[in-house]
Amino acid sequence: MKVCGVTEPSEIDVLASQPVDFVGLWYGVPGGPSDLPLDRWREFVGAAAATERLNPVMVTFLKDADALTEAVETSDCRWVQLHGYQTPGLVRAVKGISDDVRVLKVLHVREGECVESRLIGGYEKAGVDVFLFDAVSADGRVGSTGETLDAGLVASLAEGLERPFLLAGGISAENRGDYDAVAGESGFLGIDVDTNARGEDGKVSAEKVEAICRAWEAPDA
């Protein structure tokens, strides 16, 4: 499980107390509500890594290989989530930063189609480690939209992947049953949550995260 959009140290403490594997930290998301300046982002990366449970993930719209390299090389972050419409060439550049860097590439689904469908093979050849299916809103917004994906469509898209994948898009404890077909795919790794992991105050909630983890836990976990 990955929880995205953390902006306060207390939220990292909450996640470290739950069966969460990845924490998404925004850097290079202009105008994004959870975007962090580089120095602050590094602090959060260090705090997550220090838990020895949470893997910090850079969630970014950046297309500048030099900026991405600087962030990775000056932090403990080794997972880079390319969110937006970056090219396979950028994936290759990020993979070239270090042998232990992992790239998580978002595949955007809008109005029943995967926007990057023609690039998937190129992404795989460039070295993508994990894909992430996420919803694009009708007005073109990407990332933390809270909109859900059609399970049948995702399952169909997943069948053609050579890499494992995560599922995002309005994931909650209540809609676990809608995604049996997706969770049954051999490449399914888990889920990415933002909106539904938060309480009424907008902060990551231990109760919400626990409920989602419990609902989505693999039967043989």
pLDDT (tens digit per residue) in 102-150: 999 999 998 778 889 999 999 999 999 999 999 876 555 665 556 788 8
- The C-alpha atoms of residue 135 and residue 119 are separated, in whole angstroms, by 17
In tens, the pLDDT along 38-80 reads 999 999 999 999 998 999 999 999 999 999 999 999 999 999 9
- The C-alpha atoms of residue 39 and residue 55 are separated, in whole angstroms, by 18
Q: Which domains does the chain have, with CATH numbers?
A: 2-216 (3.20.20.70)
β 165-167/130-135 pair status? parallel
**What SS3 state is found at 131?**
strand
